[in-house]
Every structure is written in structure tokens, then in C-alpha cells.
A and B are shown apart, each in its own frame.
Chain A
Amino acid sequence: MDRKKLLEEGFLEKYLLDELTDKERQSVAEALASDPGLRRSYDALEADFERMAFENAITPPAQIKERLFDTLENTAKQGPSRGWLWAAASLAALFLLSSFWMYRQWKASESNFEALQEQTTVLQDRLNALEENYLLTNQRLKTINGPQTIPLILHGNNLVPNARAVAYVNHDNKMVVVNAQGLPELPEDKTYQMWSDVEGEMINMGLLKTDEELITLHYIDQAESLNITIEPAGGNDHPTVEKLIAYVTL
């Protein structure tokens, strides 16, 4: 900004009256620092304004001065930064307390969350198990309850007089499911095994566990009868005919 513009546009007055933007103020200050003539004009302006203010001075009531110096005295006694220190210390303490409280809350929330997560996992597992169980039961129900399913009862012979097993046979979807819970328990080295009789040949269908409700066995085409024998634990390749305990004709 050149001197002419500064003077004509009234920038010196506005600078004195604190009306300029930061940028304008900066550029006027720079102009004043580098232009002694301009600086003289500004000094004169300041002097005129000050003189005018003195000509229009009004004496303030005497108690203002007393009040002012009392105020300064009191703040000085407290120390210039003591009040601030106290405020800062209080704030810091408050912050510390609230941080601690929030930390506790956070920790509590975290452990609650973990417990919930654990519960959720347990529930999820149970739900999965139930679902699996339900699907299995449903499937079994369909298997044994379908119109195409033939329930067959195998009664124990004189070797095991009161024994009873139920076989459900579905020729359409080639399934055999057996409930062997009615058979007496065997020593650990023995097992029940089921066989299909196909044209005089006994074909292995699988082992029967007495502790399971329904056991799915191999379906054998053209079976004429179902037979149960007692075999060594783990099952046998060929049936021990002397130990045949029950059979039913298809």
C-alpha cells in the first residue's frame, strides 16, 4: 500500500481506531516502519486524538481507583497464577476421578461383555445341538412314521426270552433303522449284530448298540429276513448261527 492511498483512504485513522483486518493492520504497520514521513503523520494523528481525548476527559469517581487497586492487591496476594493453579489442579483431580470411574465402567462393561459373549457361545452351541437333534429326530420320525415304512418286531428266542427289538424298514428310500433298547445288556466283549438273509446268505447290516434309541443300519436289497446274533465285540464277518437270538421275515 502506498503512502497516498494510506492517507487518502483514511487507513491511518482506521489503524489508530483498531478498525482494520489483520492483513490491513499488518501492511499499515509495515508501511509505518519503513516510511518515516508516514510515521510522522501517524504520530501527529495520535497526538491530535490524544489531545482531543484529554480535552474531553471526565474525572472518574475516586472510589474507582481504590476499587481497582484493591482488586489488584487481592489478586496479587493470591499470587498471579494461584487461582489458575487451583482451578487446574481441581480440573486435573476431576479428570483423574472421572477417568478412573470411566476405566472401572469400561472394565465392568468389558467383563460383562465377555460373560455375555460366553453365554452367547454356550447358547449358540446348545442351539446347534438342539437343531441337530431336531433334524435327526425329525428325520427319524419321517423314517419310522412314513406311510412306506414297515415296522417289524423281533422277539427274542429261548436264549434271551424277553428280548425285543424293533426294525423300521423303508424300501422306497432304502433305509433300515433299529431300536435295540429292548435287548438285554451284554458283557463288554460281546455285541449284537444284525444280518440280512439274501437267498440263504447272511449279509452284515451292522452292530446294534443297546444304549442308542435308533441305529441306522445298511439296507440290503432282496433281504428275506432280518436276524440278530451275539458276536465278539467289534463284530464278525460271518454270523455265529448258534447265537442267533431273534429274527423276523420280511
Chain B
Amino acid sequence: MPHNNEDIIAIERIKQKDKKALQLLYDKYAPALYGVILRMCGNKEMAEDLLQETFVKIWQKIEAYDPNKGKFYTWAYRIAKNLTLNTIRKKEILIQNEDLSVYREKENAEPQLDVAALNGAVGKLEPHHQEAISLVYFKGYTHREANEQMGVPLGTFKSYVRQALQLLRESYDKEFILIGILINLF
């Protein structure tokens, strides 16, 4: 999805405190961000609050976004990721202070949401490539945390990520060429 003019114009309008422009960006990006947040925290209610918080922050901090340094989505993703990780950490601290049995009951009462499965090109990758991408992108792990989670050396983990990204790239390029051919055909 290339850097497009619609986004740039909307962002300029948001800087002028135009809420309609924020609605445009919400409609476009909220589902992608919600997919990340929900996978990261695994709790629907929390994810809804965090999505709202993310857009409040986008509204308040839009002056800090510089289109020359990267895509709007990347910037928004970082906001969502940081908010989510901070909230999870706070919750973990609270749970640590609570009775462990209460925690276990809660865990049983809230079954894990079935959102872990990945769709699209990434969903078609080998399981270890999928997991590597899932950990760093959808779970918010650092490379170091993620390689421990997978139980492979850091170097191996890095090459998994690189291979996975390479495969994604090839897959998207193929689609792009296919679309090109189709457009040329019709």
C-alpha cells in the first residue's frame, strides 16, 4: 500500500483539528490496528479500549508525525503497540500482586480468543516463519524475547524473520505482476 496523497491530505486536515479527516483514517486503518492489538492482548474488551486510546493519541500527537520518515500506518502501529504492551505490563503487575488462585479462575473464565491464526500471504508461510513474524509483529516481542520464546538461537531467529519477509515480498510481487497482467489483458 503505497504512501498516498489521500493520507497526506487527511493528516494535514487532522493537524487543523478536522475530525472528519480522522474518521477517514479511522475507517481505513482501525481494522488493521485492531487486528494487531487484539492478537497482542488476547482480550476483546481491552483491545477495544486500546484501539480507542490509540486514535485519541493519534489525534493529540499528530504534529509529531513526519511523513518523510515513514508511513502513517507504521507510526500508528508503534503507538498501538506501545500502548498495548504498557497496559499488559500493568495488568501483569496487578496479577502478580493478586492471589494466584484468583488469577487461575480468571484465566479459566476467559478462554483465549481464537485470533492467533494468520491470514493472507503470511498465513501461507512455513509454521516457523509464521511464528517468527507473529511474535515480533503481532505479539510485540523484541527479537531477543522472541528467539527465547521459540527456543532457537538469536542468529537463527533473525534469519527466520529475514526469510519470512523475503517470502512475503516474493508473494506480494507475484500478485502485483498478476494484477498487472490482468489489467493488461482486459
* Chain A contacts to B: CB under 8 angstroms: 9-10, 13-14, 16-19, 29, 32, 42-61, 64-65, 67-69, 71-73, 76
Contact = CB atoms under 8 A, between A and B. Distances in A.
Interface string B31-66: 111111011000000011001100110010000000
A244 B73 CA distance: 126
Given A51-B1, A58-B31, A58-B35, A64 B56 contact: no
A73 B35 CA distance: 26
B163 to A, nearest CB: 11
A50 B32 CA distance: 8
12 contacts: A10-B143, A16-B74, A17-B136, A48-B165, A54-B31, A54-B120, A55-B119, A56-B35, A58-B31, A59-B34, A60-B30, A61-B48
A69 B165 contact: no
A59 B119 contact: no
Interface residues of B, number: 53
Contacts of A69: 19, 22-23
Contacts of A68: 26, 52, 55-56
Contacts of B142: 19
Contacts of A32: 69
B26 A52 contact: no
B70 A46 contact: yes
B32 A65 contact: no
Given A67-B52, A68-B26, A52 B168 contact: yes
A42 B39 CA distance: 25
Count chain A CB atoms within 10 A of each CB in B2, B17, B35 and give the residue with the most: B35
